Amino acid sequence: MPPDLATSALLPLVAGQQPPPPRPNTLCERPIFDVSDVPATVGSLQLRLWSSFLDLYPDQAFATQLRGALRHGVKLGYNGPLRSAARLEVANLPMSSDDVAHLRREIQARLEEGRLCHVADPGNINLVCSPPGACLPSVNDGIHPSFVTIHYEGLDAIMDFIRERPSASLWKADLEDAFRHVIVAESDARLMGIHFDGHYYQECALAFGGRSSPFLFNLFAEFLHWLASFALRSVSTSSTSHSDVAHYLDDFFGASDASANPAVPIHVLSLAAAALGFRISHKKTFWDTTKLEILGIKLDSVAQTASITQERRQRILQRCLRIVNRGRALLLELQQVAGHLQFVTRVAPHGRAFLRRLYDAVKAHHKAPFGRRISKATRAELVWWINTLNSWDGVSLLQPLPLIIEHIWTDASKRSIGGHLGSMEAPLAVFSKDLSRRHRQKDIRFLEALAVLEALRRFAPLWSGPRRVVIHVDNENVEFGVSAYQPESKEGCSAPLPIERLS
């Protein structure tokens, strides 16, 4: 549908309605545009298409940033030594004749699309071409940290929706040529130079591999997310008919109650995308199904399961085995394994307790990125994952196992500590203990923590199985300390201790 027609259909749905709250990941610590700049080319995202919807957004500071980026092009957030210098003498890696022919076709296609442009005088604009390898400072090295951070959305919300509504209908859609929708400011396009076949070119849109590309693209994706959510809420007959729209960069997904029209979310998202100038990939769009793979996780709303594929499980297992067998790892290897295992915890949440030593190893390896031995604790954690991945079929139930909840109240004074299990009116067990003289002069926060630990030591033997323990304390230091505490398992890895503070 042409953008103008989509806008005509969408605007009446949202005009005059109460808008959703602002989206996360939209704080721009630094401006993403420069008023003296112009876009490097003409893109599909046009300010005239966005303007009416930007006026409705509740955070006008963010809306101003998007208006400026659409009018002047986005800045990459670079402020390094290449700001006013050129880099032209670069050599391409060896390629076969087939690869050369393929690259020529790709360059020609990008030139025709306007995503790439020919540079006749690269020295005049200080064109920067990135060389192979890492010997010289790259553009990515000079990107400001505020142009990098994103808190990605997970699958928890959609899994909760499916858990509460068995047989829910699932949907997902993908934006086509995601980063290429966002046009770069002309002054920064020179930082994305290409030298091939004796010719110089520069990228005109966000490039894959650019350090700030995900953050910058996500700003526009967040607005599309907000607009689609706004429209979906406006056309929904019930607030529980459809889950909230969710997205992970260019992937959008959600679910609908079995009694609702499963096509509505896709229609609304397609309408919002068309109105803003985005293109939805038809071959990656699915709806009206109870089984769907989203972000690498296979969801089944009828069987109430979430699973990872056998291929992915084997790939992760091989990476873990390689490190354990060698006894050492590169920083990149540890980062990859940690990322893959963090991915698995979407399906197996208990595995989060067995990532701490791996994260510690990643931090330690920053000092020796090209390889060092792994610690015994890291090895033990990886062995736990290897055993788990070998014995587990990769499938988890969405329906939670019921846990008995136990309530513990504790308190402390300078002379004694005490607590009770269960309600005050009918406690199941109580204790009171005088403090030794060596403890009486210690900080009250220490004594309150001591009371919690003593209560757990005394009351835990009374429980015949797993429990969720709610500890009532009035000290935040105790709360943070107990919540962060992870006792050692027999394998030397951290085990989960589900505790929360209610008062």
Q: What is the pLDDT of residues 445-461, one digit of tens each?
A: 888 889 999 999 999 99
| Single-letter amino acid code for the residue at 453 | L
Instruction: Indicate if the pLDDT at residue 215 is higher than 90.
Output: yes
Tokens of 153: 């959305």
- Annotate 71-94 with b (16+ C-beta within 10 A) or e (fewer): ebbbbbbbeeebeeebbeeeeeee
Residue 400: predicted pLDDT:
63
Residue 123: predicted pLDDT:
78
Instruction: Tell me the percentage of the chain whose pLDDT exceeds 70.
Output: 92
Residue 402: predicted pLDDT:
60
Radius of gyration of the chain (CA): 28
State the number of CA atoms in the 13 A half-sphere of 494 facing the CB. 19
Q: Which domains does the chain have, with CATH numbers?
A: 3-29+44-64+154-181+211-300 (3.30.70.270), 309-397 (no CATH), 404-501 (3.10.20.370)
Residue 343: predicted pLDDT:
84
Q: Which of 59, 50, 73, 67 is nearest to 25 (CA)?
A: 59
* Segment 143-156, tens digit of pLDDT: 999 998 888 888 88
Instruction: Indicate if the pLDDT at residue 130 is higher than 80.
Output: no
Tokens of 323: 């490190």
Residue 92: predicted pLDDT:
72
Over residues 35-41, the mean pLDDT reads 94
pLDDT category, 501, cuts 50, 70, 90?
very low
| 378: number of Cβ within 10 Å | 25
pLDDT category, 372, cuts 50, 70, 90?
confident
Instruction: Indicate if the pLDDT at residue 190 is higher than 50.
Output: yes
431, 454 in Cβ contact below 8 A?
A: yes
Instruction: Indicate if the pLDDT at residue 91 is higher than 60.
Output: yes
pLDDT category, 394, cuts 50, 70, 90?
confident
Q: What is the helix, strand, coil percentage profile of the chain, to 5?
A: 40, 20, 40
Residue 490: predicted pLDDT:
37
DSSP state of 196: E
Helix (H, G, I), strand (E, B) or coil at 293: strand
Q: Which of 258, 223, 198 is nearest to 59 (CA)?
A: 223
* Segment 39-52, tens digit of pLDDT: 999 999 999 999 99
Q: How far is CA 184 from CA 28, 40, 142, 147, 334, in A?
A: 16, 6, 17, 14, 34
Among 30-34, 308-312, 419-423, where is mean pLDDT lowest?
308-312
Q: What's the whole-model pTM score?
A: 0.77
Among 24-28, 280-284, 356-360, 400-404, where is mean pLDDT lowest?
400-404
Which span out of 51-65, 229-243, 424-438, 481-495 was modeled with the highest average pLDDT?
51-65
Among 20-34, 91-105, 124-138, 274-288, where is mean pLDDT lowest?
124-138
* Segment 66-83, tens digit of pLDDT: 999 999 999 999 988 887
How long is the chain? 503
| Residue ranges with strand state E in 239-304 | 246-248, 251-256, 280-289, 291-294, 297-300
Mean pLDDT, the chain, integer: 87
- Annotate 260-292 with b (16+ C-beta within 10 A) or e (fewer): bbbebbbebbbbbbbbbbbebeeeeebbeebeb
379's CB contacts (< 8 A; 6+ apart) are: 324, 327
Helix (H, G, I), strand (E, B) or coil at 359: helix
Residue 233: predicted pLDDT:
93
pLDDT category, 11, cuts 50, 70, 90?
very high
Instruction: Indicate if the pLDDT at residue 89 is higher than 80.
Output: no
CA distance linking residue 496 with residue 463, whole number of Å: 17
Instruction: Tell me the percentage of the chain whose pLDDT exceeds 90.
Output: 53
Residue 41: predicted pLDDT:
92
Q: Which helix (H) or strand (E) holds 358?
A: helix 356-365
Instruction: Indicate if the pLDDT at residue 97 is higher than 90.
Output: no
